[in-house]
Amino acid sequence: MDIQAIKNRFGIIGSSPALNYALQVAVQVANTDLTVLINGESGVGKEVFSQIIHALSARKHNPFIAVNCGAIPEGTIDSELFGHEKGSFTGAVDSRKGYFETVNGGTIFLDEIGEMPMGTQARLLRVLETGEYIRVGSSKVQKTDVRVVAATNRDLLERTQQGKFREDLYYRLNTVPIRVPALRDRKEDIPLLFRKFSVDFSEKYKTPSIQLDEEARNILVNYPWRGNIRELKNIAEQISVLSSDKLVTANDLKRFLPDQPEVNRLPMLAAPQQTSDFNSERDILYKLFFDMKKDVTEVKKMFFDILQNPNMAHAAEYHPDNHVMHNYPGVAEMNTPPGAGLGPAQQPIILSDNKIDHHEEVEETLSIADKEKELIVKALKKHKGKRKDAALDLGISERTLYRKLKEYNIAE
């Protein structure tokens, strides 16, 4: 089918080479049963590509369903996808069919596949390879004939290297990859999209159609559009409703464009010249623990050396000739006699030549759970209980933060 006809049918606007290529791949693969993985940032329109693939396939008269894997709680996603038997878990008062059973013969679109739990990934892999699945709480193997189209805004290959996504499932899903370009990579399409949205909203709200002057158009084209088409549509709607002038100038447009957000940066745990890419809260904790362990080990080594070599203890004794406290390397010098001007709790400890016959080296204990809980509490306190902001600061999803709050019984 002609690409322009596809655009007209599904309301796709634009003619950038990257967009045309993605559409061409979708059309070519549609009439097969190959699994497709659609990659692209949030808001670029990945679901439209799944609808194109289904509508041009032999399954077009059978059911199509879109499932957002990131929006389903981890404890219920298996039941949603594969169904469950009565009494299989608390609240399962009746048997229920899952999506793979109800969409048999059709197409299922799994959006945000990168958020799928590892256990569910194993079940999905079995469906893709054998067409078999088992309801939750059942031992009966059932068959299904469903085409899977998946989408993600994450780098799944990187997540496989982090142990957060099954490598075998990644290669099984990635039979045919389709890359949907970000809006900032299709700058020539931005004015066309804005014009289409502004006309639609003008008709919807019975307002005059707006126009952009040349300077405003340049600002619109060069704006980063992190929310992609979804953000552009939102801005067009705001301007259509709130703008008092039909001709929108650069200054008018700037009032509607949000300030570009700063890149979220967690506190650095290493030297300022080093950079770290923390991909999860576990990476942060490990880095923190390693730095703490290194510091504690150095302090222990210093005192252990003094205990093993009593002569080094003289380095901390007072020399009356020059009134200088000679310290162990790394300890600051003092130009006053020991104890001068200090309270009882601040009196220096003078090491003597007495030999210590017995000593123990006590290994410090570090609890990952305690430190993780401490970081979560600090983040919530910093952001005044706002879970979304706290999760962003910690570098985790809001769903993961919610699970951690329940796990550690943290009151918000």
Q: How confident is the model over 206-216, as pLDDT tens digits?
A: 888 899 999 99
Q: How confident is the model at residue 188 (pLDDT cuts 50, 70, 90)?
A: very high
Q: How confident is the model over 119-152, as pLDDT tens digits?
A: 999 999 999 999 999 999 999 999 999 999 999 9
Quick one: residue 94, left, alpha or beta (phi over 0 = left, psi -120 to 50 = alpha)? Answer: beta
Of 329 and 88, the structure prediction assigns the larger pLDDT to 88
Same domain? For 244 and 386 the reply is no
Same domain? For 47 and 114 the reply is yes
Same domain? For 9 and 110 the reply is yes
| CB-side neighbour CA atoms (13 Å) of 165 | 21
Q: How confident is the model over 234-262, as pLDDT tens digits?
A: 999 999 999 888 899 999 999 999 876 54
Same domain? For 123 and 200 the reply is no
Nearest Cα residue to 153 out of 393, 376, 397: 397
C-beta of residue 185 within 8 angstroms of C-beta of residue 18: yes
Evaluate if residue 222 carries a pLDDT over 60. Answer: yes
How many angstroms separate the CA atoms of 23 and 46, rounded? 11
C-beta of residue 232 within 8 angstroms of C-beta of residue 223: no
Evaluate if residue 310 carries a pLDDT over 80. Answer: no
Evaluate if residue 339 carries a pLDDT over 60. Answer: no
Of 113 and 401, the structure prediction assigns the larger pLDDT to 113
Quick one: residue 117, left, alpha or beta (phi over 0 = left, psi -120 to 50 = alpha)? Answer: beta
Same domain? For 171 and 72 the reply is yes
Same domain? For 83 and 163 the reply is yes
**What percentage of the chain carries pLDDT values higher than 90?**
57
Same domain? For 143 and 157 the reply is yes
Least confident of 301-305, 355-359, 381-385, 396-400: 355-359
Question: Domain total for the chain?
Answer: 4
C-beta of residue 28 within 8 angstroms of C-beta of residue 177: no
What pLDDT shows up at residue 286? 53
CATH number (domain holding residue 203) = 1.10.8.60
Evaluate if residue 397 carries a pLDDT over 70. Answer: yes
**pLDDT mean over 151-164:** 94
Residue that terminates a domain, selected from 181, 202, 225: 181
Evaluate if residue 410 carries a pLDDT over 60. Answer: yes
Give kind and range of the element (H or E) at residue 407: helix 398-408
Neighbours of 148 (CB within 10 A): 22
Residue that terminates a domain, selected from 235, 256, 277: 256
Q: How confident is the model at residue 347 (pLDDT cuts 50, 70, 90)?
A: very low
Is the Cα dihedral 32, 34, 35, 38 positive or negative?
negative
Evaluate if residue 294 carries a pLDDT over 60. Answer: yes
Same domain? For 77 and 208 the reply is no
Domain that holds residue 188: 184-256
Residue that terminates a domain, selected from 224, 256, 288: 256
**pLDDT mean over 342-368:** 49
C-beta of residue 116 within 8 angstroms of C-beta of residue 156: no
What pLDDT shows up at residue 37? 97
CATH number (domain holding residue 372) = 1.10.10.60
Same domain? For 290 and 160 the reply is no
Rounded alpha-carbon distances, angstroms, from residue 332 to 296, 303, 316, 326: 19, 16, 11, 9
Q: How confident is the model over 261-286, as pLDDT tens digits?
A: 544 444 444 333 343 344 455 555 55
Same domain? For 211 and 160 the reply is no
Q: Measured at the alpha carbon of residue 409, what is the angle toward residues 408 and 412, in degrees to the nearest 5?
A: 115
Evaluate if residue 158 carries a pLDDT over 60. Answer: yes
What is the side-by-side order of every strand in the sheet holding 64-68? 64-68, 107-111, 147-152, 36-39, 176-179
**pLDDT mean over 198-203:** 93
Q: Is the pTM of this model over 0.75?
A: no
Same domain? For 338 and 197 the reply is no
Q: How confident is the model at residue 164 (pLDDT cuts 50, 70, 90)?
A: very high
The mean of the pLDDT values for the chain is 81
Same domain? For 208 and 159 the reply is no
Q: Measured at the alpha carbon of residue 321, what is the angle toward residues 318 and 327, in degrees to the nearest 5?
A: 35
Evaluate if residue 324 carries a pLDDT over 50. Answer: no
3-state secondary structure of 142: strand
CATH number (domain holding residue 40) = 3.40.50.300
Rounded alpha-carbon distances, angstroms, from residue 193 to 13, 241, 349: 6, 17, 75
What pLDDT shows up at residue 384? 84
